[in-house]
Every structure is written in structure tokens, then in C-alpha cells.
Amino acid sequence: MAVSLHARFLDHLARGIDDLQLAKDFPAGLQRAGLTVERPRDPAHGDLSTNAAMVLAKLSGTHPRPLAEKLADGLAKLEDVAAVDVVGPGFINIRLTDQAWRDELAVIADQKDRYGMSPIGAGKTVNIEFVSANPTGPMHMGHCRGAVVGDALANLLAFTGHRVIREYYINDAGGQVDVLARSAHHRYREALGESLGEIAEGLYPGDYLKPVGAALAADFGDRYADAPETDWLAIFRARAVAAMMETIREDLALLGISHDRFASEADLVAAGKPDDAEAWMRARDLVYDGVLEPPKGEISKDWEPIALPLFRSTRFGDDQDRAIRKPDGGWTYFGVDLAYHFEKARDADELIDIWGADHAGTVKRIVAAAEALTEGRKRFDVKLVQIVRLLRAGEPVKMSKRAGNFVTLADVIREVGKDVVRFMMLTRKAEAPMDFDFATVVEASKDNPVFYVQYAHARICSLANRAAEAGIELGDAPDLALLDGPSLTLVKRAAEFPRIVEAAAAAREPHRIAFFLEGLAADFHALWNIGNADPARRFVYPENLPVSRARLFLASAIGQVIRNGLALMGVEPTHEMERA
């Protein structure tokens, strides 16, 4: 894998610092973390800028300016460098030669769909758990955002060299799957011909359990129609959960998502994993038997003090210790979840959980648990994904959970398409609430980021046809020296892609890719627009074939970067826009 432009300059800097240390101009053995090479906001400050002198000056107790001058001298000798300036408190601003940017363009064309890949995650396995919707019904839009964010993040981590495990945790051990089983039993009796009227309050009312009931009726006849619950609960539960998981997998497939692993809460319990975790923690005094304070706020009337096995999460920053077992000896959700993270940490170096923001209150305890269980050695991030407000032309879409008429993921995908859904879910950082308006997400205007980016790609694709019509053969080695300033500006933007990818992966923020693509598309459209006024500046300019070839080469490379970004988001590039 070729090294990115930014990485290359970080390397140049490192060697410059080595030289200073050899020449005793500078103490050896200093940390070099915090050194950055980035594109300055203001183009007048050059193509690349580094804070190295200021950071190192602080660490070594010297003045940044002289240090910057020395580093600048070394950088100025590099072939790609046109000019180096030391300004302000000690910024080193670097301007690259035009040739350096033309070379970068050739790198894009050469690396194709590998452009932007990074080795920062090499040798690391990261387990990312996402979706993990309760297996009690089809996926609705509440699950959608976490699914897309998780999948895009997984793509991003794989692209940056990590080995990625996509995992789904099936909550199939709690009370709600018993409710599911009872709901299926209701549908089962209906399938047998009983007319039961409205489904009881508290059961799942949706129609999606009717096929499950029918299948159960076909298999068991009326054997369990009037049987006591203990006879059928486990059977119905297993059947209903399996059916729901099948539905959920289908829903996920509509989004283009497939998990590598499905971990079952019930299996973990059956395998004694929580017991193992408890024993491990008791041996380290991380679990003790104690009595919790009554909950604050809403006062529960049936609160009773009772001794339970508690995890010492307060030692790790939680507000109170947390019960891992219930009074009946069974496991709490947290007790199993803790064991589950213990298991996940066995074959991964880093863990990520993607959760709905409604679980924000339980983040501290699981972070505490992960820290205790991995003895602080493994990075663990819980990413909270905020709600999506569904709108239709500005009006909130009415949903009633009781009636079971929530908007399903499948419905939305059917209406606007997978790519629109995926793109939109990544146009905000995960922690911020988002509006999803059915009307605007399919609008063909520049206000719609999906359209805007796709349109740029389609325009690029159309160039190939226009070139052919004009009788321009692309050839394989255009003279890139024919590309002028505005074209190179676009190259500079595209060349940021590798660094954006690395930063997005490190921060676990896939939305940055979407914003980058919007910017890149905007720059591309801007360049295109120059051609509107002046035919000599168009990509296809039959009066000058060499220039046309160089520009088409540029456009093709930009298209490549757009595709690479979209691929990370899990969005298919559009080759031709449909005329509205």
C-alpha cells in the first residue's frame, strides 16, 4: 500500500527531527505525539502546515522559531516542496510543487479503489457490535441509524487495516421474548380458528406474528391451544425468536448489512459464561454482596432493600455499584452483558458498541465493566446514536407503538431506496438528533446532499460518453502538466481523502466521509461551472485534445475518490441521473 501524502510528510518531519537530534541541536528521546500535518484553512498558508516546532519546543523547553527554521531548511530540500515558510509562533507552512499534485493524481488513478486505504489498524482486531435489536419484531426506523453507522464504521475500520468482526447480540433471554412467545401463542390459536378479538394489552400487536402462529398451528395442530404455558412457552419462544431473527436478517440485507456473528444471550447463560465472569471478578474483589440505595427520582412503591451480588463499578467511575443477579438468582441484563463483553474481548483488541441514545444511562457501567474485565488494556468505545425524527413534508409521521403501526425499515427502503437511507443516516454526527423527511431526501436539488454527490459522479460518468462523441480517445498517459490552477485545487481536495479516512476511523465518526464527499462534489461542480461560461475551460474541449485528455483524467480520478468514499458509506454510485 502506498503511503499517503500526509503520512509521507510526517515521515519527512520525523527524519528532520532525527537529524537535529544527531547534530545535538535537540534532545533525543522526546515523544512525538501531537505532531500534525494538515491542510491549512487558508490556502494562503500553503498546501500543508505543521505545528511540529511548537509542540517540540514545548517539550524540550526551547523556542519554537529557531527550531522551525532548522526543520524548514530540511523540508525545503525535498523534491516535492516548492517553498517553506516559518510564520507566526512557529508554524511551518509548506507549498508543494504543481508536479507533486499531478503525481498525487496519478496515484489515485493507479490505486483505484484502494486509494485512501491506511495501515493504521494493521494487526488489530476490532469487534463492533451494532443493531442488536430485540428479536420481537421487524426492524423499524429507530434501529436504522445505528445499523448504518455501525456498518459504515466497520467499513472504515476495515479500510484502515483493522480486522473487523461485525457482531449482533440477540437479547433472547429476557422477559420480552416471553411476551413474544405469548403473542405468538395468541396468533397460533387464531390460526387454529379461534376468534379471540383484540390481542391482549401488553402483547405485541403487529401482524408480523400471524405467519409464525400459522406455522406453529401447522406443526403442532391444537396440541398447545389450551395447554398450560409451561408446556409451550420455551418452544414458542424459540420458534418466534428464530422467525424474528430471520425477518431482521432480511431487513438488514435490504440495507446491505450482514453480520459475521450472532451472539445469543440465552446461549451465553446456558454456557455458564456469566458464572465464569462472576467467579473471575469475585476472585479480584470486583463483585461483592451488598444492598443498593433505593433509586432516585421516580419513587418505586415496591422498593425493598435486599442483598445482591454487585459489581464495584463505582471504582471505575460509575455512580453506584450494579447488580449482576436478580433476587431470584437469575442474571440481570447487565450481568449477562458484562460476561458478553468479557467474551468479546477475548478475541479482539478493541471493542465498539453502537447503542441507541435511550441506553445512555447504562454506558458508564458497561465501560466500567470492560475496563475491569480487560484490566484497562483494551480500547472500548460506546457510540450513542440519537433518534431519527421521521417527517413527511415537514410534518412528523404519526406512529403508535400500541397499534403496532410503527414505520418499518423495509417500508422506508421501499419508498426511497437503500442508498438514500444510508447516505442520509451519515449526514449528521451520530450523537446529534436528525430529521429524516421523505420529501426532501429524494429531492433533485443541491440542497440534498445525496443528490449533490451522486450528481457529481453521474456528471463524471457522462464525460466518458461526451468524450467518445467528440472523438477523443483517452489514451493512457495524458500530459498532466496541462492542468491549471483550478484543476489542481480540486486535486488538493481529493488528496485529503486518505487523511480524512484515518481521522474518521480513529474518532469512530463515519459521518466525516459524507461531509468530505459533499465538499469534494462542491469543488467538482464549481470547476464544471467554469466551463459553462467558457467552453475552452470545459472538460471536453474538442479544439484541444491533449488538454481534454488531461482534464478527463482528472475527472476520472475525482470519480474514483467519490466512489471510494461512497463505498465506505455502503452507497452505490449513480452513473446516470434520471431526469425528473
Query: Among residues 361 and 471, whose Cβ is nearest to RNA?
Result: 361
Least distance in angstroms from the C-beta of 311 to RNA: 10
Please state, in angstroms and rounded to a whole number, the distance separating the CA atoms of residues 128 and 548: 46
What single letter denotes the amino acid at residue 309? P
Query: Among residues 49 and 408, whose Cβ is nearest to RNA?
Result: 49
Query: Among residues 127 and 332, whose Cβ is nearest to RNA?
Result: 332
Please state, in angstroms and rounded to a whole number, the distance separating the CA atoms of residues 467 and 473: 7
Least distance in angstroms from the C-beta of 194 to RNA: 29
Least distance in angstroms from the C-beta of 538 to RNA: 4
Least distance in angstroms from the C-beta of 348 to RNA: 18
Least distance in angstroms from the C-beta of 220 to RNA: 26
Query: Among residues 93 and 155, whose Cβ is nearest to RNA?
Result: 93
Please state, in angstroms and rounded to a whole number, the distance separating the CA atoms of residues 41 and 47: 9
Query: Among residues 361 and 485, whose Cβ is nearest to RNA?
Result: 361
What single letter denotes the amino acid at residue 531? G
Least distance in angstroms from the C-beta of 358 to RNA: 4
Please state, in angstroms and rounded to a whole number, the distance separating the CA atoms of residues 17 and 27: 10
Query: Among residues 100 and 177, whose Cβ is nearest to RNA?
Result: 177
| SS3 annotation, 111-168 | HHHHCCCCCCCCCCEEEEECCCCCCCCCCEHHHHHHHHHHHHHHHHHHHCCCEEEEEE
Least distance in angstroms from the C-beta of 197 to RNA: 27
261-264 and 287-291: which strand pairing?
A: unpaired
Query: Among residues 217 and 388, whose Cβ is nearest to RNA?
Result: 388
Query: Among residues 151 and 509, whose Cβ is nearest to RNA?
Result: 509
Please state, in angstroms and rounded to a whole number, the distance separating the CA atoms of residues 221 and 471: 72
CB 508 within 8 Å of CB 381: yes
Q: How far is CA 560 from the centre of its chain?
A: 21
Nearest partner of 72 among 46, 42, 101, judged by Cα? 46
Query: Among residues 159 and 224, whose Cβ is nearest to RNA?
Result: 159
CB 356 within 8 Å of CB 328: no
Sign of CA dihedral 196, 197, 202, 204: positive
Least distance in angstroms from the C-beta of 1 to RNA: 20
- The DSSP letter of residue 78 is S
379-385 and 350-356: which strand pairing?
A: parallel
CB 377 within 8 Å of CB 350: no
Query: Among residues 171 and 374, whose Cβ is nearest to RNA?
Result: 171
Question: Which phi and psi angles does 152 have, rounded to 5°?
Answer: -65, -40
Please state, in angstroms and rounded to a whole number, the distance separating the CA atoms of residues 212 and 183: 10
DSSP H helical segments within 308-400, as ranges?
333-346, 363-373
Least distance in angstroms from the C-beta of 241 to RNA: 11
What single letter denotes the amino acid at residue 286? L
Please state, in angstroms and rounded to a whole number, the distance separating the CA atoms of residues 365 and 361: 9
Least distance in angstroms from the C-beta of 13 to RNA: 14
